[in-house]
Copies of this chain bind each other. A is one copy, B any other.
Amino acid sequence: MKAQIINQFGDPSVFQLTEVAVPVLIPGHVLIKVHATSVNPVDCKIRSGANLGSTEPELPAILHGDVAGVIHAVAADVTQFKVGDEVYGCAGGVRHTGGALAEYMLADSKLLAKKPSTLSFLQAAALPLVTITAWEALFTRSNLANGETVLIHGGAGGVGHIAVQLAKWRGAKVVATVRKKDDIALVKSFGADEVINITEEKPADYVKRLTQGRGFDLVFDTIGGANLEISFTVAAINGTIATTVTRGMHDLSLMHAKGQTLHAVFMLLPLLTNHGREAHGKILAQAAEIVAQKQLHPLIDPHQFTLAETSQAHALMESGNAHGKVVIAIS
């Protein structure tokens, strides 16, 4: 089969389109005929060789977790899928598991769900990693409830635009931040009740305007870096901050003075540790229902790529100029 492999870590030019063997089916797994994948920031980090703990794959490696495709073969012990089923999931591209940048992908069936029927393969492939991440941050970890208010930092981003929709679906009041004027209307179209342009309004000002100075009960930080300290500032006393970007040194003094809770969300853990994988399949099955209710859909960058153009897809992702998820059609 054709696959984009990397023989070394580095910039987007390290991808090499190569002929490799189709993966061999093993118990609990299915073989997916891959139709589409999408680029997530973590894929670029893994490609570049960044040390993310234990994500680093053995070389040569096939990258990318997000996949949408058709079941080509199932192991004898897999009962929930059959050949021909359209599925989606985030199922590889890290240590010990091949990725979706190939014509066929071996995937643990527990990580998959039936593809939302109203979405194309390209659209479906844009969802898994960001949807599971947002779900874990808002629901699994923070128990966001109907009627609560959540602030989502980075509302126009990959995880952010899904988080806005999921929080709205849950019945929360949703406030989101953006850094471009053009993104205000976009993020409102995803259901945000209030959108803050952080280049025009300071944290103290929007906390005062939107919470009477009290702060938000839940803040979801998809930006990271110095924004984590801003999240402590804008969260209430005893408030909760969920973040996907906690790595590195942070000053926790304000978090302490406000008695807050911090959830570090790292959705690759079930893939890396083989614990808790069932939860991912279940989240994607629920997400498919929300898609069917027309309350969840991905924003896709208009420039779509083929497998042969993987390097360009990564370059667009890293340029910061993508407008929505960057997707790659495989077949």
Q: Which residues of A are in contact with B by a Cβ distance under 8 Å? A: 52-54, 141, 237-238, 245-266, 269, 273, 275-276
Residue of B nearest to A252 (CB): B246
Taking a contact as CB atoms closer than 8 A, the residue among B238, B248, B253, B258 that contacts A253 in the complex is B248
Question: For residue A54, which residue of chain B has the nearest CB?
Answer: B257
* Inter-chain contacts of A275 with B (CB < 8 A): 237
A246, closest chain B residue (CB): B256
Please tell me which one of the listed residues B247, B261, B266 contacts residue A264 in the complex, with CB atoms under 8 A apart.
Answer: B261
Q: Is the CB of B266 within 8 A of A256?
A: yes
27 contacts between A and B (CB under 8 A): A53-B253, A53-B254, A53-B257, A54-B257, A141-B261, A237-B269, A237-B275, A238-B269, A245-B256, A246-B256, A248-B252, A249-B249, A249-B250, A249-B252, A250-B250, A250-B252, A257-B266, A258-B264, A258-B266, A258-B269, A259-B265, A260-B264, A261-B261, A261-B262, A261-B264, A262-B262, A262-B264
Contacts of A253 in B (CB 8 A): 53, 246-248
Pick from B247, B251, B262: contact of A249, CB under 8 Å: B251
A261 to nearest B CB, angstroms? 5
For A252, list chain B residues within 8 Å (CB): 246-250, 264
Closest to A236 in B: B275
Known A-B contacts A248-B251, A252-B248; A266 and B262 likewise in contact (beta carbons under 8 Å)? no
Residues in B whose Cβ lies below 8 Å from that of A269: 237-238, 258-259
Bound Cα distance A260, B266 (Å): 9
Q: Determine if B261 and A256 form an interchain contact, defined as CB atoms under 8 angstroms apart.
A: no
Q: Which residues does chain B contribute within 8 Å of A273, judged by CB atoms?
A: 237
> How close is A24's CB to chain B, nearest CB, in angstroms?
29
Give the distance in Å from the alpha carbon of A54 to the alpha carbon of B248 in the complex.
Answer: 27
Determine if B262 and A52 form an interchain contact, defined as CB atoms under 8 angstroms apart. Answer: no
CB-CB under 8 A from A246, the residues of chain B are: 252-253, 255-256
Expressed in whole angstroms, the minimum distance between the Cβ of A224 and any Cβ of chain B is 10
A52 CB, min distance to chain B CBs, angstroms: 7
CA A256 – CA B53 in complex, angstroms?
Answer: 9
Q: Complex Cα distance A251/B246, Å?
A: 9
A259 pairs with B251, CB closer than 8 A: no
A207 to chain B, nearest CB (A): 15
A20 to chain B, nearest CB (A): 30
Which residue in chain B gives the minimum CB-CB distance to A266?
Answer: B259
Q: Which residues of B contact A255 (CB under 8 A)?
A: 246, 264
Q: Which residues of B are found within 8 Å of A250, using beta-carbon distances?
A: 249-250, 252
Say whether A259 contacts B264, CB under 8 Å. yes
CA distance A155 to B275 in the complex (A): 31
Pairwise interchain contact B256-A247, C-beta atoms closer than 8 A? yes
A247 to B253 CA separation, bound complex (whole angstroms): 4
A261 contacts which of B237, B245, B248, B263 (Cβ < 8 Å)?
B263
A53-B257, A238-B276, A246-B253 are known; give 6 further A-B pairs, CB within 8 A.
Answer: A237-B275, A248-B251, A249-B250, A249-B252, A259-B269, A262-B264
**Residues of chain B within 8 A of A265, CB atoms compared:** 259
